[in-house]
Amino acid sequence: MDTRVDARPPGHARDAGAQEPHGRILTILHQAHSTPGRIGRLIELRGYTLDVRRPALGEDLPDHLDDHVGVMVFGGPMSVNDPLPWLRTEMEFVGKAMAADTPLLGVCLGAQLMAKHLGATVGRHADGLSEIGYYPLTPTPAGAELLPWPSHVYHWHSEGFDLPRGTELLATGEVFPNQAFRHGRHGFAVQFHPEVTHEMMCRWTSKGAAKLSQPGAQPSDAHFDGWYRHDPAVCHWLERFLDAWLDLTVEDTTL
């Protein structure tokens, strides 16, 4: 079975101007002002519809996924260890998606929900460090077989996860070693934030300015310097990753 990403140029997996939508992707966000950022825009350009739900604000998740071709779960300020009823419900929902091997993408908190449901520990760094800013990323041999990865990615988190049993580690980091994993054939988790746009970075560093003083966090100017240095490579990676991941919602031929 070929597990490599095909070599089509970014954005060319399908006709972005197609009239018929490819299907709905359930998109779980965790704050009123949150958006799926660049990921959402690129997915819509590829002919998919986003069905946005915010369980933290009382919005229900669907009873089943028959009407959706995939699921995305994004980040938020809460911890997966918080005793919140809606968070337990969301974790159970993510577990059902993984059990069905539904195309699933977990970003930051979404990745931690996947890890915790699979029995892994999610918690703070032993030395109290955070990753807030741009940090190095190294693909594992398994990750490198899938596609080229950027050298640095954008983070905003103070908790990380152990690698869940039965998953495949795709990328590692220096502070939090487990940065991306694959569950089954269709489930992917990333600790970093490839969805972040320049506008989102401005908002995060402004509204979350207090977090920039946490141990390990980078000052605001380093965030924007990192954007100009590293975002083109992140964008290129994301285009190729989404082309391959979205193909899983149509036919199982790439990842």
pLDDT digits (tens, 9 = 90+) for 7-47: 333 333 344 444 447 899 999 999 999 999 999 999 999 99
pLDDT band at 76 (very low <50, low <70, confident <90, very high): very high
pLDDT at residue 168, rounded to an integer: 98
Question: How many whole angstroms separate alpha carbon 220 and alpha carbon 211?
Answer: 10
pLDDT band at 247 (very low <50, low <70, confident <90, very high): confident
Q: What does the mean pLDDT of the chain come to?
A: 91
Q: Which residue has the higher pLDDT, 254 or 66?
A: 66
Superfamily of domain 23-247: Class I glutamine amidotransferase (GATase) domain (3.40.50.880)
Percent of all residues in the chain with a pLDDT value above 70, rounded to a whole number: 89
Catalytic residue among 30, 68, 90, 108: 108
Catalytic site residue 108?
yes
pLDDT band at 2 (very low <50, low <70, confident <90, very high): very low
pLDDT at residue 227, rounded to an integer: 97
Catalytic residue among 152, 193, 223, 230: 193
Residue 183 forms beta bridges with which residues? Answer: 187
pLDDT at residue 8, rounded to an integer: 34
Catalytic site residue 117?
no
Question: How many whole angstroms separate alpha carbon 131 and alpha carbon 216?
Answer: 6
Task: Report which DSSP code applies to 9.
Answer: P
Least confident of 31-45, 106-120, 241-255: 241-255
pLDDT at residue 22, rounded to an integer: 84
Residue 1 has pLDDT above 70, yes or no: no
Burial class (CB in 10 A: 0-12, 13-18, 19+), 87: buried
Catalytic residue among 131, 159, 195, 239: 195
Q: What is the DSSP string of 41-64?
A: HHHHHTTEEEEEE-GGGTPPPPS-
The arithmetic mean of pLDDT across residues 72-100, rounded, is 96
Residue 56 has pLDDT above 50, yes or no: yes
Residue 18's alpha-carbon distances to 7, 42, 44, 243, in angstroms, are 21, 14, 11, 15
Percent of all residues in the chain with a pLDDT value above 90, rounded to a whole number: 87
Residue 255 has pLDDT above 70, yes or no: no
pLDDT at residue 251, rounded to an integer: 53
Catalytic site residue 195?
yes
Domain ranges of the chain: 23-247
pLDDT digits (tens, 9 = 90+) for 138-190: 999 999 999 999 999 999 999 999 999 999 999 999 999 999 999 999 999 99
pLDDT at residue 218, rounded to an integer: 98
